[in-house]
Structure 1
Amino acid sequence: MTERNNIPQLVDHLFRHESGKLVSVLTRIFGIENLDLAEDVVQDSLVEAMTHWEYKGIPDNPSAWLFRVAKNKALTVIGREDHKRKYISSVVHLLRSELTAEPALNHLFSEEEIQDDQLRMIFTCCHPSISPDSQIALALKTLCGFSIPEIARAFLTTVDNINQRLKRARQSIREAAIPFDIPRGKELDKRLDAVLETIYLLFNEGYSASKGNDIIRYELCEEAIRLAQIVAAEKTIQPKENVEALLALMFLNVSRFKARQDGEGRLLTMEEQDRELWDEQLRAIGLYHLQEASRNNSLSVYHILATISAQHSIAADYASTDWSSILSLYDILITLDHSPLIRLNRSVAIAKVKSPREALAELETIRNEPAIDKYYLFHATQAEFLIQAGEHAQASAALEQAIRLAPLYSIKELLTRRLSRLTTI
C-alpha cells in the first residue's frame, strides 16, 4: 500500500479515466435499458474505494482494485435482481453459473473488449432517436465522466437544461429499444458526426477547463485523443478523413501545452509564449494526421480548425502569423458553422487583418446570442479591441466584466494583469 494521501484527487482521477470503461462494460452486461444500473454500480464502486482506502491505504494498483470491486458488484446485482429486471444482454447468462462467471468476466473486462464496449457506448449515445443536444450530453456524462455543471458550461447553458436533456435521452433509449452496438453502413456515417463532436467537446474542456485550479486538464485531453484513436482504429469506419482531421486539431493544440503557462503557473497568451517550448514531435504527429485527412479533398469543421491551428504552429514567431490566411479559413468555416463562438474567434482575425473597429462591429452581431454575454471571453476579446482602438475607459469596464465572469483563478489573474497594465497607460 502507498501512503494514504490525496485520496479524493485519486478517486476523481480514476473516475475520469476508468468510469467510462466500467459503465461501458457493465452496460453490455446489464443491457442498455439498464444504463442507470451500470452507472450506479460504478458510483458505488468509487464510493467503496474512497471509504476503504481511507482506512486501509491506497492499493498498489488502484485501477485493478476498482475493476475487481465492480466485477463483484455486477455479480451481486445479477443474483439479487434476477427477477426484478429484464436483462437482454447476450452475455448475462454466462454470469449466472459459477463455472462460467469468472472466465466470462475476465473476457468482458479484457482491454480489447473494453475498447469495443466504449465504441459501442459512444455510438449508442449518438443514436438518431436521441436529440442531438441530448446525444452529446449523454455521452459526456456516461462515457467521459463529466459532471452535470461541467456539461452545462460546455454547452453555455443551465444545469436544469442538461438534466432535462439527460432525462429525455434515457427515455428515448427505453422507448426506442436502442441496441448496444456499433452501427453499419449509412447508419454509421450518420452517427459519426455526433461522436466526433462529443470527443471535441471533451478535448475543449481539458484545453480550457471550466472548473478547478488548473487551466489545462491534461487527462481530459488525453482521454479525448484516446477515444478518437479508438474510433480511427475501427475498420468499419470508412472514410476516416474527419477523424484524422480531429486528431490533427487535437495534437497540434496539445503541442503548445508546455508554453501556455509560465514557471509560476500563470496563463500566457500565444503572443507571450516561448515557442521553444512547443513540442516538435506532437506538432509533427498533428501535421501527419492533417495530411492524412486531406487525402480525398474532404472538408469539415475539423479540417479548417486544424489548418488554422497549423498556421499558428508553423509561424516562427507571433509577428509572422499569417492572419490573412487564417481569416480566409474562418470565412469558409462560418459557412459550415455559424455559431457565436466561431464568430467570436473570427473577430480576432478581423482585427489583425482589417481593423479593431470592424472587429468590434462583428462582436455586436453576436452580443444578443443566448449565454454569450455571460461568457468571459466575449468581454475579454472586446476589451482587447477597445484597447487597440484607444477606448481605454470602455476597455477597463469590459475587462472588469470579464474578470467577474472568468471561471478560473488563473484566467482572472491574466485578465487582472491586463487591466493593471491598462490603468498605467
Structure 2
Amino acid sequence: MQPDANTPQQIVDHLFRHESGKMIAVLTRIFGIHNLSLVEDVVQEAFLKAMLAWTFKQVPDNPSAWLMTVARNKALDIIRRQQHFRNLSGELAYQLQHTTESTVRQLFLDTEITDSQLRMIFACCHPSLKEEDQIALTLKTVSGFSAEEIARALVTNEAVIQKRLYRARQFIKEQGIQLEIPCGDELTPRLETVYTVLYLLFNEGYNSLKADELIREDLCIEAMRLCLLLSEHKVGRQPATFALLSLMCLQASRFDSRMDENNGIILLQHQDRSTWNRELINTGYHYLRQSSSGDRLTVYHIESAIAAEHCLAPSFEATNWNRMLQLYSLLLEHKPMPVVLLNRAIVLAQLGQHAEAIREVTTIPDIEKLLSTHYIYSAVLGDLYLQAGDMLNARKHLRAALQLTVSLAEKKLIHQKLETINY
C-alpha cells in the first residue's frame, strides 16, 4: 500500500510501523528466534538502505515489496557467508542448507508471511513469560512499536520497557522456545494466552492511563489487526476469536463520540449515536454471529453481547437494562472480578435500585484497598451516591477519585460532578 506521505522519511516511518513486523516474523522463521537481535539488525539495515536510496532516487511503486526484497537478499547473503546452518532455524536447517534460495523465496510469499506472523504472536505470548513482557514483546516484534512508543503507550519509561524486552528475549533463548503454531492439546491454552494479550492491548488503548490521552487508537487498531490476522488462519478460526474481534469492533465504533472538541469525556447517555460507526457495528454483529457456533461460552462472547446491547438501543433510555443485568450476572459467573461487580452495580442503578447498587460496590472483596488505589471505584461509588441523593458521601468519594486519577479528561469530568453538588 502506498502511504499518503510526501517525503522519504515519512514513507519510511509509515512502512516501519506497517511492514517491520512482517519482516521480523519471516526472518525469525529463517534464522530462529534465538537470533532475534540479528533479525532486527537486518530489518534496520533494510530501512536504512531505503532511506538512503529513496532520498536520491524516486520511491518505487511498491515500497513494501522493495523492502521485502532487500531483506530477503540480505538473509541469503548472511546464510551463504556463514554456512553455519545448525545455528539457524531448527525447523528449516536442512532445507536452508540444500535449497537455500528456493526455501528463502518461499518464506517471503504472502501466505508464508502470514503464517510466520502468527508463529511470532504465539512465541511472544508464550504462557511462561510474564504478562507485561508478553505485551511489550508483541508490540516490539510483531507490531513495529519502538521502545519509546511502548513506554508511552503503557505509561512507563523506556528503561523499564528495555528491561522487559531483554528479559523476554533471554527467556526465549535460554528455554529454547520455538517459533511454531501449537497443535493438539497445547493449542487451546496457548490461544487463551494470545486472547488475553490482545484483550489487554485493546483495553489499554480504549481506556488509556495517559494523562492527556484517554483513547490510544493506535493500540486499539493494532489489537484489532492482530485479532483479524488470527481469525483468518485455520488455527485461530475459533468462536472465541470471533467473539473477541466482535467486541473490539463494537467498542471501537464509539471512538468519535467519546470525547468532545475540548478533550472532555462524553458519557454514554450523552453521546450522539449518529456518530457511531455503523460499518464497525455491522462488522461486530457479523463476527458475533460467527462466534455462536460451538458449545463453549467465553467471557468474550458475553462482553460482546453486552456491547451489542448498547449498539442495538436507539437511545440510552431505550437500553434493555434487564437484559444487561442478566448478561453481567452471567459474566460474573465466568469472570468473578471486582470490575464486573462494579459494572453490574451501574446497571442496578439504571434500574432504579440505588441502595442495592451501592451495597454491591461496598461489599466487593478488598473494596477499601480498591477505593484507595484505583480511581474508578471511588468515581463510580461517588456517582452512585450522587444518584441516590447522598451528597456527603458523593462528595467524599468523588474527591478521592479526583486525587487518584492522572487523566486530565477524567479530572475534568469529576470536577463537573462536584460542581453539581456544590451548586
Aligned twin of 1:326: 324
**Structure 1 pair 85–295 and aligned structure 2 pair: CA distance change class (3 A):** closer
What's the TM-score, normalizing by structure 2?
0.79
Post-superposition shift, 1:200?
A: 1.5
What's the TM-score, normalizing by structure 1?
0.79
Aligned twin of 1:25: 26
**Identity across the alignment (%):** 40
The 1-side partners of 2:173 and 2:257 are apart by 47
**Structure 1 pair 131–306 and aligned structure 2 pair: CA distance change class (3 A):** same
The 1-side partners of 2:316 and 2:117 are apart by 40
Q: What are the within-5 Å matches in structure 2 for residues 88-167 of structure 1?
A: 88=89, 90=91, 107-130=106-129, 134-136=133-135, 138-145=137-144
Q: What's the secondary structure of 1:262's corresponding residue? A: coil
Please, which runs of 5 or more residues in structure 2 have no aligned partner? Answer: none
The 1-side partners of 2:173 and 2:275 are apart by 50
1:79–1:96 contact (8 Å) kept in structure 2: no
Letter in 2 for 1:274: D
Aligned twin of 1:193: 192
- Comparing 219-228 with 361-370, which one deviates more in the overlay? 361-370
Aligned twin of 2:39: 38
Aligned twin of 2:361: 363
1:250-298 Cα distance to aligned partner (Å, 9 max, x none): 1211222232233455331111101122233322221222122123343
Aligned twin of 2:226: 227
1:150–1:211 contact (8 Å) kept in structure 2: no
Post-superposition shift, 1:224?
A: 2.0
2:76–2:104 contact (8 Å) kept in structure 1: no
2:258–2:265 contact (8 Å) kept in structure 1: yes
Post-superposition shift, 1:123?
A: 1.7
Letter in 2 for 1:322: N
1:180-223 Cα distance to aligned partner (Å, 9 max, x none): 11122222122111111122222222322333754333333332
Candidates 242, 245, 262, aligned match of 1:244? 242
Does 2:344 correspond to 1:346? yes
Aligned twin of 2:88: 87
The 2-side partners of 1:394 and 1:22 are apart by 56
The 1-side partners of 2:312 and 2:207 are apart by 22
The 2-side partners of 1:74 and 1:115 are apart by 18
Aligned residues: 418
2:21–2:143 contact (8 Å) kept in structure 1: yes
Candidates 254, 266, 269, aligned match of 2:267? 269
**Structure 1 pair 351–77 and aligned structure 2 pair: CA distance change class (3 A):** farther
1:261–1:268 contact (8 Å) kept in structure 2: yes
**Structure 1 pair 79–338 and aligned structure 2 pair: CA distance change class (3 A):** farther
Aligned twin of 2:169: 170
1:156–1:371 contact (8 Å) kept in structure 2: no
1:154–1:201 contact (8 Å) kept in structure 2: no
Aligned twin of 1:286: 284
2:153–2:210 contact (8 Å) kept in structure 1: no
Post-superposition shift, 1:114?
A: 2.1
Q: What's the secondary structure of 2:280's corresponding residue? A: helix
Post-superposition shift, 1:168?
A: 5.4
**Structure 1 pair 217–135 and aligned structure 2 pair: CA distance change class (3 A):** closer
Post-superposition shift, 1:90?
A: 5.0
- Comparing 13-22 with 159-168, which one deviates more in the overlay? 159-168
The 1-side partners of 2:50 and 2:415 are apart by 38
Aligned twin of 1:180: 179
Aligned twin of 2:206: 207
**Structure 1 pair 80–270 and aligned structure 2 pair: CA distance change class (3 A):** farther
1:294-338 Cα distance to aligned partner (Å, 9 max, x none): 233431000110111111111121111122221221222122222
Letter in 2 for 1:176: Q
1:157–1:371 contact (8 Å) kept in structure 2: no
The 1-side partners of 2:164 and 2:371 are apart by 21
Please, which runs of 5 or more residues in structure 1 have no aligned partner? Answer: none
The 1-side partners of 2:342 and 2:15 are apart by 35
State the superposition RMSD in angstroms.
4.3
**Structure 1 pair 212–158 and aligned structure 2 pair: CA distance change class (3 A):** closer
**Structure 1 pair 28–65 and aligned structure 2 pair: CA distance change class (3 A):** same
1:322-366 Cα distance to aligned partner (Å, 9 max, x none): 222212212221222223333332332233236344333433425
